[in-house]
Amino acid sequence: MKQERGVPDAAPRMNRKPVMRAAAYVADPYAYYRGLRAQAPACWNPDVNAWTLTRYSDVMDLIRHPALSVGRLPLAQPVAGEGRRGDMLEQHLAHWLIRMDGPDHARLRALAKRGMPNRFADQMRPLVRQRAAALLGKLLSGAAIIDVISDYAAPLALAAICDALGLPEQDHAQFRHWSECIEQGAGRGCSASQVSRAIEAVQATRAYLAQQVGRVQASGLISAFAGSSVNGAVMSRDEVISTASLLLLAGHETSTHALANALLALFDHPSELEKLRHGDCDTGAIDELLRYDTPLQGLMRRATACFEWQGQRVSVGQTLVLWLGSANRDPAVFAEPDRLNLNRQALRHASFGFGAHRCLGAGLAHCILEEGLLAFLAAAPKAVRLARSLEWRGNMLFRSQTRLLVQLY
């Protein structure tokens, strides 16, 4: 049998139908994951030219595998005519922690954690709560129908992260525009114009943050990163800018859609919604919502050496997709995994990653989600999701809706 793209003949292949790009997958990837976990938990998917891993144990083990790298993955689609500007986008994103490995990653992560310790999220909590209350006050005094994403989740997430960084409120709208441009132009399958706008947004963001280093509030993370020191090591100016832009651009979108997905899940499970509203659930309720429908569905890794896994040979240069969304629904770890249960015990969800590459802003993201949900449920106790079909964005790795319409009462 002829080998395909360097994959051994023995590797299980998936059906030729491009199911991962089909509307059915985008609307409900969890049914697709169930089939893979049962039939081919470690298989080669020719539709995405990558190995697909769907079991919790495989995902968590491979996140830490020494032969896998995050630093050699192309993020932006090559576009004719972009040339050096396209290279600039790749170079900037290459300095993000989520795109680094080895000693450089360990050094920069230690410095970032020194500037953003675990207690930082608790320090931010009163301000996030205040932001949520102010937004809801305006919404409840205005339109009866709102889009939870554009009217509440996105501005709340952005304001909270800008506050954390120490950036002025008058610039929040501009940051949101840049974030959206980069999200649309930094993935595979995007158009030339989208990539061009993403490059312009990266340039503008970098220029703005460069001006802010040394000027922002002493309590902000940019100042904390600039002053961070571990064993004599410090962040360079470029590293401060890149770490701040990671929190601002990537953190904003993830926190926005974590809140939107959680509200959708609660609207679809009214008994669980009432538990959360009345405080009748355990402290792990927010983690259960993150487990149930995480925005970040998968992580990509590139093999830097050949190795065997579950009877399959992974070759140098091949890509692996570790499906966090599937790991979170693995019945070997979570009883009744497709059920939302805000009293679930012993949560070990994969939504923030694991180990050295665990999400740097996980604590702040958790805070934004919790405060955003509790404020919404308290301020709009009779809110109803409008019975209209949902439209999910066609991104395999990031699960998000285009809008979520809600009637306020």
Residue 17 has a pLDDT of 42
Residue 327 lies in a domain: yes
What gap in Å lies between CA 248 and CA 132, rounded to an integer?
A: 18
Full pLDDT tens readout for the chain, 409 residues: 233 444 545 556 654 444 566 777 888 999 999 999 999 999 998 878 899 999 999 999 999 999 999 876 655 444 444 455 556 666 667 778 888 999 999 999 999 999 999 899 999 999 999 999 999 999 999 878 999 999 999 999 999 999 999 998 889 888 888 888 877 776 556 788 888 888 888 889 889 998 888 776 667 999 999 999 999 999 999 999 999 999 988 899 999 999 999 999 999 999 999 999 999 988 899 999 999 999 999 999 999 999 999 889 999 999 999 999 999 999 999 999 999 999 998 789 999 998 888 999 999 999 999 999 999 999 999 999 997 778 898 888 899 999 999 999 8
Tokens 């966090």 locate to 324
Residue 160 lies in a domain: yes
Residue 388 has a pLDDT of 75
Retrieve residue 314's tokens.
Answer: 């992974």
Residue 8 lies in a domain: no
Element (DSSP H or E) covering residue 385 = strand 384-385
What gap in Å lies between CA 244 and CA 210, rounded to an integer?
A: 10
What does residue 303 show for φ and ψ, rounded to 5 degrees? -75, 125
Domain of 99? 19-407
Residue 285 lies in a domain: yes
> How many structural domains does the chain have?
1
Residue 76 has a pLDDT of 43
> For residue 356, which of 115, 50, 104 has the smallest C-alpha distance?
104
Residue 16 has a pLDDT of 42
Which CATH number do you get for residue 165? 1.10.630.10
Tokens 């994969």 locate to 350
Residue 232 lies in a domain: yes
Residue 14 lies in a domain: no
Tokens 């280093």 locate to 213
Residue 199 has a pLDDT of 85
28: which residues sit within 8 A by CB, 6+ positions away? Answer: none
Helix (H, G, I), strand (E, B) or coil at 309: strand
Residue 12 has a pLDDT of 62
The strand ranges marked E within 29-152 are: 42-45, 50-53, 68-69, 145-147
**Could you give the angle at the alpha carbon of 388 between the alpha carbons of 288 and 328, nearest 5°?**
20
Give the residues across from 51 on adjacent strands.
44, 320
